[in-house]
């Protein structure tokens, strides 16, 4: 099996005895392979816009091309766009490595999830020109308490909402919903769009780094291919899990389930004393 790697060690012992040790190294090799694939993919993703920028710079150096204002403006625009792409990619790569590397401890205090959602909503209304009706909310009367890192969960929601707008139908709203699961032990935060949907074969691979269903489309609308990989990492760091459901021609829902804080004993006791 190409995925299997064994390591054989033979140790000489006294009296001519030999100890033969056979150990399964498959997971170490697989991890190594993932790392080298990742570096190769990341380099490739950065090389493409860099090559485009260099190509346009060389053309602009040509005095004939430099004279035409329209051409110059067009070339500069492309160069800015490519530089933006590189910047987004570097920022996403840095986020990923920060999330992976950080010694992570969840804050003791509960997170104000409602405020976080409202901030993300405000961003889309004020900076991205979305209207009230484009961003629907469905929040429970009482928000379950969760522990979470504010900046990471804010990035998680930004990534999901930005995908919903990128791949959703332009004229249809995006819905952000919070609800407790049946037992109340987890909170479900979901983002739903009414877009083209995703074929079922692709769904298990969407959280892989640089995996895109339609590479051309993702690039054209400014995707890096890292958004859902970042969401998955953040979710795992919070002790949660992710779920993607989609129907072609109908839309997609990406949900993350995060553990709800247990009420502390003192809160219970004060509740009893008050009652
Ligand atoms: P990208 O930067 O390309 O959007 P992501 O990791 O966020 O990268 O998503 C990976 C791929 O999953 C996207 O390229 C797209 O093909 C698909 N995808 C993600 N979210 C949606 C969605 N809401 N609807 C349809 N396809 C989606």
> Up-side HSE of residue 36: CA atoms within 13 Å toward CB?
5
Query: Is residue 271's pLDDT more than 80?
Result: no
Q: How far is CA 160 from the centre of its chain?
A: 8
Supply the pTM of this predicted model.
Answer: 0.84
Ligand 1 center to 162 CA (angstroms) = 9
**Residue closest by Cα to atom 14 of ligand 1:** 212
The DSSP secondary structure of 193-207, one letter per residue, reads E-BS---GGGGGGTT
In a mutational test of the pocket of ligand 1, which residue from 93, 212, 255 has the highest number of ligand atoms less than 8 Å from its CB? Answer: 212
| Least confidently predicted of 61-70, 85-94, 129-138 | 61-70
Residue 240 has a pLDDT of 96
Element (H, E) at 44: helix 26-61
Atom of ligand 1 nearest to the CA of 211: 10
Query: Is residue 174's pLDDT more than 90?
Result: yes
Ligand 1 center to 196 CA (angstroms) = 11
Residue 65 has a pLDDT of 66
The ipTM assigned to this model is 0.98
In a mutational test of the pocket of ligand 1, which residue from 227, 230, 249, 253 has the highest number of ligand atoms less than 8 Å from its CB? Answer: 227
What's the CA angle centered on 256, arms 96 and 215, to 5 degrees?
55
User: Which residues, judged by CB distance below 6 Å to any ligand atom, belong to the binding site of ligand 1?
Assistant: 163-164, 166-167, 193, 195, 198, 206, 211-214, 218, 223-229, 252
Band of pLDDT at residue 100, cut at 50, 70 and 90: confident
The span from the CA of 69 to the CA of 72, in Å, is 5
> Up-side HSE of residue 51: CA atoms within 13 Å toward CB?
6
Which residues 6+ apart lie within 8 Å of 181 measured at CB? Answer: 187, 188, 257
The residue count of the chain comes to: 275
| Interval 74-94: pLDDT, tens | 889 999 999 999 999 999 999
Element (H, E) at 253: strand 251-259
The span from the CA of 88 to the CA of 144, in Å, is 33
Atom of ligand 1 nearest to the CA of 230: 6
CB 60 within 8 A of CB 77: no
Which residues 6+ apart lie within 8 Å of 22 measured at CB? Answer: 6, 7, 8, 9
Ligand 1 center to 94 CA (angstroms) = 19
| Interval 139-171: pLDDT, tens | 999 999 999 999 999 999 999 999 999 999 988
């Amino acid at each position: 099996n190409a995925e299997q790697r064994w390591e054989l060690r033979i140790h000489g012992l006294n009296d001519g005895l030999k100890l033969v040790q056979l150990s399964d190294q498959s997971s170490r090799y697989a991890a190594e392979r993932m790392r080298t694939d990742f570096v190769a993919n990341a380099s490739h993703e950065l090389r493409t816009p860099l090559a485009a920028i260099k190509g346009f710079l060389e053309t602009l150096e040509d005095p004939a091309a430099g004279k035409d204002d329209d051409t110059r403006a067009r070339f500069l625009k492309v160069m800015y766009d490519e530089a933006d792409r590189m910047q987004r990619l570097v920022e996403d790569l840095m986020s990923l490595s920060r999330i992976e590397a950080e010694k992570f401890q969840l804050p003791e205090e509960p997170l104000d999830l409602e405020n976080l959602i409202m901030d993300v909503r405000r961003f889309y209304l004020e900076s991205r020109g979305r209207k009230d009706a484009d961003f629907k909310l469905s929040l429970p009367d009482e928000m379950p308490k969760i522990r979470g890192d504010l900046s990471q969960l804010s990035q998680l929601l930004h990534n999901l909402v930005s995908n919903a707008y990128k791949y959703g139908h332009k004229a249809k709203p995006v819905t952000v919903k919070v609800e407790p699961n049946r037992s109340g032990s987890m909170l479900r935060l979901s983002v739903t769009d009414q877009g083209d949907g995703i074929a079922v074969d692709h769904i298990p691979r969407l959280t892989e780094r640089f995996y895109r269903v339609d590479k051309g489309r993702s690039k054209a609308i400014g995707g890096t291919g890292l958004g859902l990989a970042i969401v998955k990492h953040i979710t795992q760091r919070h002790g949660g899990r992710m779920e993607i459901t989609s129907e072609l021609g109908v839309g997609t829902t990406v949900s993350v389930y995060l553990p709800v804080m247990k009420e502390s004993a003192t809160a219970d006791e004060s509740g009893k004393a008050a009652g």
